[in-house]
Amino acid sequence: MGFLKNKSGRQQITDEHRPCQDSGRREFLKKAVKAAAIGGTAVVTGCQAPGLLGSKEEFALQFQEYFKAHYRLMTEKERDTTITRLERLAKLQKNVDVQISSKEAMPGVLFGYGFNVTRCEGYMECVSACVRENNLDRKSNMQYIRIFEMEPGQMTPDAGQGKFFNEVPVDGRFYMGAQCNHCDNAPCIKACPTKATYREPDGIVVVDYDWCIGCRYCMAACPYYGRRFNWNEPVVPVKEITKKQHYLGNRQRRRGQMEKCTFCVQRTREGRLPACAEACPTGARIFGNLLDPKSEIRFVLENKKVFRWKEELGTDPKFWYFID
Amino acid sequence: MKTPKQKKYGLATVLGLMIILTGWNAFSEKGGVVQTIKNATSTFDNGSVESVPPVPEDTVLAQVRYQGGTFRVETRKDKVKRFQCSQCHNNQPVAIANAVETAHGDITLNHGDKVKQLACFTCHDKDNRDVLITEKGTKVDMDHSYQLCGQCHFRQKKDWIGGAHGKRVSWWAGERVVKNCASCHDPHAPRFEKRWPKTYSRPFTE
């Protein structure tokens, strides 16, 4: 879709929010889409047995979903419309009542994360909480967070043991987590050909799942192994679906879309801690507002020995490791 | 009256200044997120986040201040079974058979070095069992046990007050509510036990 719209040359998506200028063309497109949806539905119901492609309504909704704009270019009204559609689709397909939020970033907030290498004991509570919170695919056992068992002296998770299978903590070893670092100068954003992935004003790097074409350039570009690809249609048991969702966060993904840690955007924009930080039994995970001098993360940065993973790459991550 | 030569020099000076200032400006904006953080000196009004609920009832205002502000800690007294202790321990011998086993049998003391284990009355006040007592003899309320633990674990206490040790309860915004020492650590055996992880990791490269 991105290429179609960009062909006019002047229709480039910039990094900032931009009011849409060509409402005439958009209105026309919308009408055309609606007409096509009605036509398409007529064709489906005419030729195929009902139920093969879902109900009439489901097909119409999916058809309209296909022609929506990039999240950053949507007006308030368009966002509400697509959210209504998505919520209705979830009801039709899985019979769950989800609430999808489109809450904007708060002004004066820049999220940052601290990981205490000394305190982490490898209990993996964070991973489990993350999987539940973000509706991750259970079939391929997708996880955003990885915990590594490290020998003394090792400084980067690449060198650690990622497949430990023993009671933790083991004496003389330490544990180090790796996940999306939410770089301020993120290579994945530069690599994305459709601008589906971008940096939100509060510093979170997000993916507009519906604009992702699944090329996996970002996965190759990320030096932190922070991105995950849906090789299969994600499977989440209906009972375990987290119903409080965000458009850019834990809403339903599809096969062929890239996804990643979003600092639990659906929680943190409300003021809550990310699921991993809340679940951590040892308090190794510190989360807060980097722009607030009174926040915990600022205390960590100013008083503890901190380092960032692969800082020399110039990616400027907002994820600090520290030791006691 | 300016000569053309003076005009030329004037123009060159202005141009030079402009170049230097532009360069300086561009340079000062470098430094990425670290510079952004250093530039941010005004405090964020945590109360401005409307979605944060009022503080939980089982919290109490801490007796120490952090980074110039107050914060709340989780209470302990309402979580101790059979508090008040003075119901039984009231300066008279407890005349119940097997009282120790019945009331405190679940306690395994594993605190301090193996050479110098702590005893009950290292922390509990012998005369008033409802409170704790420091080495100096100051009585400490059970809700403010960090005052007692901080005698030895002063580094942890400093980090805990600042926010590098321990954890906040559920919300990063709103009034600061943190877990108390005994919310996570069993005061009688404070070290975390070895156990199996909750789930298993996938390998780094598939």
Range of the domain at A323: 101-324
A192 within a domain of the structure (yes/no): yes
Q: What's the average model confidence in pLDDT over A110-123?
A: 95
Q: Taking the domains of chain B in order of start, what are their residue ranges?
A: 56-184
**Residue A163: pLDDT over 50:** yes
Residues of B in contact with A231 (CB under 8 A): none
Judgement on whether residues A48 and A92 belong to the same structural domain of the protein: yes
Name the residue among B43, B44, B199 with its Cβ closest to that of A124. Answer: B199
A193 within a domain of the structure (yes/no): yes
Judgement on whether residues A25 and A127 belong to the same structural domain of the protein: no
Burial class of residue A102 (count of CB atoms within 10 Å of its CB; 0-12, 13-18, 19+) = middle
The answer to whether the Cβ–Cβ distance between A124 and B194 falls below 8 Å is: no
Residues of A in contact with B40 (CB under 8 A): 110, 290-293
Instruction: Give the pLDDT confidence score for residue B90 in this predicted structure.
Output: 85
Judgement on whether residues A113 and A251 belong to the same structural domain of the protein: yes
What token pair was written down for B7? Answer: 């005009």
**Angle of CA points B29, A286, B191, to nearest 5°:** 150
- Domain final residue pick, A62, A97, A132: A97
Q: Which position has the token pair 């559609």?
A: A85
Per residue in A220-267, pLDDT (tens digit) is 999 999 999 999 999 999 999 999 999 999 999 999 999 999 999 999
Judgement on whether residues A38 and A171 belong to the same structural domain of the protein: no
Judgement on whether residues A80 and A122 belong to the same structural domain of the protein: no
Sheet holding B177-178, edge to edge: B59-61, B72-74, B177-178
Residues of B in contact with A143 (CB under 8 A): 199, 201-202
Structural domain count, chain A:
2
For A50, residues 6+ apart whose C-beta sits below 8 A from its C-beta are A56
Name the residue among A114, A127, A296 with its Cβ closest to that of B201. Answer: A127
If we measure between CA atoms, which residue out of B174, B183, B140 comes closest to residue B46?
B174
**Residue B2: pLDDT over 80:** no
Q: Which amino acid is at B43?
A: T
Judgement on whether residues A107 and A24 belong to the same structural domain of the protein: no
Instruction: Give the pLDDT confidence score for residue B50 in this predicted structure.
Output: 85
**A288 CB within 8 Å of a chain B CB:** yes
The ipTM is: 0.82
Judgement on whether residues A301 and A193 belong to the same structural domain of the protein: yes
Judgement on whether residues A153 and A280 belong to the same structural domain of the protein: yes
Per residue in B83-142, pLDDT (tens digit) is 888 888 888 888 888 888 888 888 988 998 777 889 989 999 999 999 999 999 999 999
If we measure between CA atoms, which residue out of A263, A126, A284 comes closest to residue A203?
A263
3-state class percentages of chain A: helix first, strand second, coil last, to nearest 5: 35, 15, 50
What's the half-sphere exposure (Cβ side, CA atoms, 13 Å) at A210? 20
A313 within a domain of the structure (yes/no): yes
- Domain final residue pick, A51, A76, A97: A97
- Domain final residue pick, A45, A76, A97: A97
Percent of chain A, pLDDT > 70?
Answer: 84
Name the residue among B163, B170, B171 with its Cβ closest to that of A299. Answer: B163
**A165 CB within 8 Å of a chain B CB:** yes
Residues of A in contact with B171 (CB under 8 A): 271-273
Judgement on whether residues A137 and A90 belong to the same structural domain of the protein: no
A3 within a domain of the structure (yes/no): no
**Residue A9: pLDDT over 50:** no
Q: pLDDT band at B48, cuts 50/70/90? A: confident
Instruction: Give the pLDDT confidence score for residue B8 in this predicted structure.
Output: 85
The answer to whether the Cβ–Cβ distance between B196 and A167 falls below 8 Å is: yes
Residues of B in contact with A301 (CB under 8 A): 37
The answer to whether the Cβ–Cβ distance between A301 and B196 falls below 8 Å is: no
**B164 CB within 8 Å of a chain A CB:** yes
Burial class of residue B184 (count of CB atoms within 10 Å of its CB; 0-12, 13-18, 19+) = middle
Query: Using only C-alpha atoms, what is the Rg of chain A?
Result: 21
A152 within a domain of the structure (yes/no): yes
A2 within a domain of the structure (yes/no): no
Judgement on whether residues A112 and A223 belong to the same structural domain of the protein: yes
Instruction: Give the pLDDT confidence score for residue A19 in this predicted structure.
Output: 43
Per residue in B24-47, pLDDT (tens digit) is 766 555 778 999 999 998 888 888
The answer to whether the Cβ–Cβ distance between A271 and B173 falls below 8 Å is: yes
Instruction: Give the pLDDT confidence score for residue B88 in this predicted structure.
Output: 86
Name the residue among B33, B40, B49 with its Cβ closest to that of A318. Answer: B33
Instruction: Give the pLDDT confidence score for residue B76 in this predicted structure.
Output: 93
CATH code of residue A184: 3.30.70.20
Query: What's the gap between Cα B115 and its chain centre?
Result: 30
Q: What's the average model confidence in pLDDT over A117-125?
A: 94
The span from the CA of B2 to the CA of B8, in Å, is: 10
**B173 CB within 8 Å of a chain A CB:** yes
Whether the CB-CB separation of A182 and A113 falls below 8 Å is answered with yes
Name the residue among B44, B51, B192 with its Cβ closest to that of A270. Answer: B51
The span from the CA of A161 to the CA of A146, in Å, is: 10
A5 within a domain of the structure (yes/no): no
Per residue in A19-61, pLDDT (tens digit) is 444 455 566 566 665 655 555 544 444 444 445 567 899 999 9
Instruction: Give the pLDDT confidence score for residue A266 in this predicted structure.
Output: 95
Q: Smallest CA–CA separation between B141 and chain A, in Å?
A: 24
Judgement on whether residues A214 and A154 belong to the same structural domain of the protein: yes
A10 within a domain of the structure (yes/no): no
Judgement on whether residues A140 and A86 belong to the same structural domain of the protein: no
